[in-house]
Amino acid sequence: MDLKSGYPFWAIRNGLMHAFPRLERDLRCEIVVIGGGISGALIADELAAHGHDVAVIEQRDIGWGSTAASTALLQYEIDTHLIDLCKQYGEADGALAYRACAQAIDDLGEVARGLRDVDFRRSASLYYASKPGHIPVLREEAALRSRHGLRLRWLEADALESDYGLRAPGGILSECAASVDPYRMAQRLLARLQRNGAQVFDRTKVATMRATQRSVELRTDDGLRVRAEHAVICAGYAAQKWIDQRLARNRSSYAFVTDPLHKDELQALDTTMVWESARPYLYMRSTGDGRLVVGGCDDAIDLPARRDRRVESKARELVKKVGQRFARLQLKPAFAWAGTFAETSDGLPWFGPHEQHGPRVQFAMAYGGNGITYSMIGAGLVRARIERRQHSLARLFSFERGER
């Protein structure tokens, strides 16, 4: 599965940071993690930190899947409004999901603190109404979020204009958000794991998987055998191939990054990420070296060649959309790229065992706009499942919620 087009900024900026070996002989371990993206890295780190014997197997180079294409805004704000989530799953569960995402940003900050220079930066998040007709829903959304302890302020159009240079009829300013270099974080986590004795292999593709009551057996496409007590499938959008049931639809998302801008140009955007209520939404955030990362213009294209051809025209469209909202910003893309992105119908991820493979195989499908935040939550969830402990999100974030 070709997950990205053009050169994702993180891969250009960082190159291949660490050398990991290929798997060259049969392997036995307690838990095998399939996929060395940000989900596999966070989950393997959590498991190893709690005493489990973990091995990670990645078919490409580490972090080279959709992680390298991610714009990595870390938000508590799920693509589905809290008001809609509450209607679908009840107010307690809707609020639980939102609060867990807010907690996950703190947890990601904690993980980042233990790593060198992964560009983790706290920021605010501004969610503006794309048109006046969206104001009533956003006000209702703001009131419900406040009621559940999420810290935010409502900003009127004149405040948006004066504080951000943004032309929009109103919006929600939340305190809780962050951003990170996701590729660097995955590389650093797995390099640390390797230094601490875990086995991390790249350029090794898992071809087949067979789970029994007691163990899981994998075969690589070179015919090597991996036996483990548990497998965790962190294969990103490719994970769908292991389950017959259709769980998400693939979309393409487009992004570009500018060269570093002067502080005067960035102004409040240096410390505030911005997104909007229209779908697909335009979004924007800064990097530690003063660039702006802009993304959006998602479409339903699932063919890499067609997606690749659109990268330049989509970047032009994004530049235009930014100019329409922020008159002072005439952005020039330094790099533009696209990536595959999977969306579930309710915006929630899938973590845990699926009946098709039984309890020894945990899936970590961090689908949706909050993929990285979900992966952080998934790390705790998957560990709880393997250790047979309760977890407050075990039902809502698992395949069981489909039964409601």
Nearer to ligand FAD, 170 or 349 (CB): 349
The distance in angstroms from the start CA to the end CA of the chain is 32
Considering the rule CB under 6 A, would residue 295 count as an interface residue with ligand FAD? yes
* Closest separation in Å from C-beta 132 to ligand FAD: 27
Considering the rule CB under 6 A, would residue 255 count as an interface residue with ligand FAD? yes
Helix locations, 196-229, DSSP H: none
State which of residues 40, 296, 352, 353 lies at the interface with ligand FAD (CB under 6 A): 40
* Closest separation in Å from C-beta 313 to ligand FAD: 16
- DSSP H or E run through 171: strand 170-179
Where in 180-219 is the site for ligand FAD (CB under 6 A)?
205-206
Helical pair 82-89 and 91-113, crossing angle rounded to 10 deg: 130
**Quick one: which of 174, 143, 170 has its CA closest to 159?**
170
Quick one: tokens of 55?
């091995």
Quick one: tokens of 194?
């390797």
Nearer to ligand FAD, 62 or 135 (CB): 62
Question: Taking contact as CB under 6 A, which single stretch among the options 13-21, 230-238, 256-264, 351-359 is the one that binds ligand FAD?
Answer: 230-238
Nearer to ligand FAD, 40 or 94 (CB): 40
Nearer to ligand FAD, 159 or 334 (CB): 334
- What residue has token string 């805004």? 73
Cβ atoms of residues 79 and 34 within 8 Å: no
Question: Taking contact as CB under 6 A, which single stretch among the options 103-111, 114-122, 314-322, 339-347 is the one that binds ligand FAD?
Answer: 339-347
- What residue has token string 């209702």? 140
DSSP string of 283-299? EEEE-TTS-EEEEEEEE
Where in 69-98 is the site for ligand FAD (CB under 6 A)?
69-73
* Contact residues: ligand FAD, CB under 6 A: 3, 34-40, 57-60, 64-67, 69-73, 205-206, 234-236, 238, 253, 255, 295, 339-341, 366, 370-373
